[in-house]
Structure 1
């Protein structure tokens, strides 16, 4: 904790706070600490218990994902209220857990929009890597009915799933683009030069174009 405190940078914290995060440690430096420590489950559990944002991010880098039980992961997600901690928990830990699918289903239907956003993030991962067994038409029904008025983080996660369906599943691409056009979610999102807009119709078209170019090239 003393080492993390020494890495605290007020400028980094100000930038992170604008995005809803609560730490001021450069992530490259944090990863260097994790690389030195290697996997240490007991230390990871202790760091998580501090409640400190940087400590929790470090914990997620040095833990053993399969060492956590289903209820532990559920509690951790409900404690992880900042975007970066939630993203890393889902991306680095839950995805590698034997409980990932069970939690995906449970979280997606949770009344807490922050928890539900984690379920949708796991669903997006399934669409990309293992769409067999999913109901893409049903997912598109839910997105069409709920995304427009969803809270920001849940809306972002549902929009990502919408785009992923359009990118990965050609038979649903036209419908995914149509939903994006009708809802207009993130259509005016400020996108830096050289980056792809998160507006689903643009996002889908660009990623499909890149794949086609890679195939023909």
Structure 2
């Protein structure tokens, strides 16, 4: 904790706070701390218990994902609501845990929009990697009905799922693009140069274009 405190940078904290993250540690330096610690499950649990955002990010990086129970991960997600903690927890821990599908289905329908956003993020992962058994037209129906008025983080996750369906499933591409065009979610999102817009029609078309380019010899 002292080491993390020494890495605190007020300028980084100011930038992070604009995105809802309450820590001021450069992520490269934070990752270096975790690399030095290596995997230590007991320490990870202790660091998580501090409630400190930087400590929780380190905890995620030094965890053994398979050692967490479903109830532990559920409690961690509901408690770890800072965006970066939420994102790393889902991507670095939950996706590698044996209970991922159980948690995906439980979180997907949760009334808490932050929890539901995790369910949608995991659903996007399945859409891309293991879509068997998913009702893709049903997902598009839900997105079309609810995404426009969803809270920000849930809206972002639903939009990602919309784009993922359009990118990976050509049979639903036209409908996915059409939904994006009608709802106009994130259409005006500020996008840095050389980055792809999160507006689903642009996102879908750009990734599909890249994938259809013939590699140079």
TM-score range, shorter chain: over 0.9
Task: Provide the rounded CA distance (Å) in 2 between the counterparts of 1:179 and 1:74.
Answer: 32
Task: Provide the rounded CA distance (Å) in 1 between the counterparts of 2:139 and 2:93.
Answer: 24
2:133 corresponds in structure 1 to: 133
Task: Provide the rounded CA distance (Å) in 2 between the counterparts of 1:174 and 1:188.
Answer: 21
Task: Provide the rounded CA distance (Å) in 2 between the counterparts of 1:157 and 1:215.
Answer: 31
Equivalent residue of 2:148, what SS? coil
Task: Provide the rounded CA distance (Å) in 2 between the counterparts of 1:54 and 1:77.
Answer: 16
Task: Provide the rounded CA distance (Å) in 2 between the counterparts of 1:5 and 1:193.
Answer: 34
Structure-1-length-normalised TM-score: 0.98
Equivalent residue of 2:213, what SS? helix
Task: Using the TM superposition, give the Cα deviation of residue 128 of structure 1 relative to its aligned residue in structure 2, in angstroms.
Answer: 1.3
Task: Using the TM superposition, give the Cα deviation of residue 132 of structure 1 relative to its aligned residue in structure 2, in angstroms.
Answer: 1.3
Q: CA RMSD in A?
A: 1.0
1:94 corresponds in structure 2 to: 94
Task: Using the TM superposition, give the Cα deviation of residue 133 of structure 1 relative to its aligned residue in structure 2, in angstroms.
Answer: 1.4
Task: Provide the rounded CA distance (Å) in 1 between the counterparts of 2:193 and 2:158.
Answer: 24
List aligned pairs for 1:13-162, cutoff 5 A. 13-162=13-162
Task: Provide the rounded CA distance (Å) in 1 between the counterparts of 2:214 and 2:76.
Answer: 40
Equivalent residue of 2:23, what SS? coil
1:187 corresponds in structure 2 to: 187
Task: Provide the rounded CA distance (Å) in 2 between the counterparts of 1:29 and 1:96.
Answer: 24
Structure-2-length-normalised TM-score: 0.98
Task: Using the TM superposition, give the Cα deviation of residue 214 of structure 1 relative to its aligned residue in structure 2, in angstroms.
Answer: 4.5
List gaps (5 residues or longer) in structure 2: none
Q: Deviations over 1:30-85 (max 9, x none)?
A: 11111111100000000000000000000000000011000000000000111100
Task: Provide the rounded CA distance (Å) in 1 between the counterparts of 2:188 and 2:13.
Answer: 27
